[in-house]
């Protein structure tokens, strides 16, 4: 992600690829709730907001539609995607397999420096949980999983997981509280397995961990949709 600030920066003034910056910023605004599920997006308004022309904006929207953040319809334009049980099932189907792969590769390629980063992410989650700081807890838990992806040492896996991880953070933020009560203890065990170089066990535990999160998340989402 390019920024975690609340106010968007003029994308047109940055030095990275304009489309890449724009994709990152719109995605971030969706994940952090500045653009709400179901909200209609007006090209003119977004062009002014991000200080870009409509051509890169349309290109960015196409990419974000492919990632599952936007819905584009003829004559109706773009809207921020909404969550469905079917869509979240699909998200977790993919995530289970990729998180298991990441854990296996991380255990095979772990070194003292990367393990220290993973340990710090876990410590921050523990501190945030003790302080009942939901936003910080959610961020540090996401950082824990992102650190495992980094440890895997696969640029292709990292590029695939970027939008998936963002969708997971968006989902958890939308639901306010969707994290399993056993999440911290499971993260501790996953760190132990990765640190011990137990690749097969780490892979299976990561898969089971995501599967457990899936059930808790889907139950919470179904209840939210029912009462909504």
User: Is residue 12 scored above 60 in pLDDT?
Assistant: no
Return phi, psi of residue 40, to 5°.
-80, 135
- Total domains in the chain come to 2
159 burial level (CB within 10 Å; 0-12, 13-18, 19+): exposed
6 lies in some domain: no
Domain boundary among 48, 80, 112: 80
Query: Are 180 and 214 members of one domain?
Result: yes
Percent of the chain surpassing pLDDT 70 = 89
- 71 beta partners: 79
- Vertex 133: Cα angle to 211 and 100 (nearest 5): 20
The answer on 188 and 106 residing in a single domain is: yes
The DSSP letter of residue 9 is P
The pLDDT-based confidence of 213 (bands split at 50, 70, 90) is confident
Strand order across the 77-80 sheet: 40-41, 77-80, 70-73
Q: What is the pLDDT of residues 182-195, one digit of tens each?
A: 889 999 999 999 99
Is the domain of 150 the same as that of 73?
Answer: no
Tens digit of pLDDT for each residue in 92-144? 999 999 999 999 999 999 999 999 999 999 999 999 888 988 888 888 888 99
CATH of the domain at 22: 1.10.10.10
Q: How many CB atoms lie within 10 A of CB 120?
A: 14
pTM metric for this prediction: 0.82
Shared domain for 37 and 99, answered yes or no, is no
For residue 133, the enclosing domain spans 85-227
Are residues 188 and 133 part of one domain? yes
């Amino acid at each position: 992600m390019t920024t975690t600030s609340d106010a968007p920066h003029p994308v047109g003034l940055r030095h990275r690829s304009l489309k890449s910056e724009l994709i990152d910023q719109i995605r971030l605004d969706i994940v952090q709730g500045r653009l709400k599920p179901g909200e209609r997006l007006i090209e003119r308004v977004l062009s002014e907001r991000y200080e870009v022309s409509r051509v890169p904006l349309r290109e960015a929207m196409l990419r974000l539609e492919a990632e599952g953040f936007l819905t584009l319809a003829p004559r109706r334009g773009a809207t921020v995607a909404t969550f469905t049980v079917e869509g979240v099932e699909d998200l977790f189907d993919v995530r289970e397999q990729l998180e298991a792969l990441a854990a296996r590769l991380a255990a095979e390629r772990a070194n003292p420096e990367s393990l220290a980063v993973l340990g710090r992410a876990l410590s921050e989650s523990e501190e945030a949980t003790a302080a009942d700081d939901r936003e910080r807890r959610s961020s540090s838990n996401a950082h824990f999983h992102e650190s495992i992806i980094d440890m895997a040492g696969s640029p292709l896996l990292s590029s695939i997981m970027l939008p998936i991880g963002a969708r997971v953070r968006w989902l958890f933020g939308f639901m306010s509280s969707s994290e399993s009560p056993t999440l911290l203890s499971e993260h501790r065990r996953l760190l132990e397995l990765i640190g011990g170089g137990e690749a097969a066990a780490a892979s299976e535990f990561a898969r089971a961990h995501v599967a457990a999160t899936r059930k808790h998340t889907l139950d919470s989402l179904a209840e939210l949709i029912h009462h909504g």
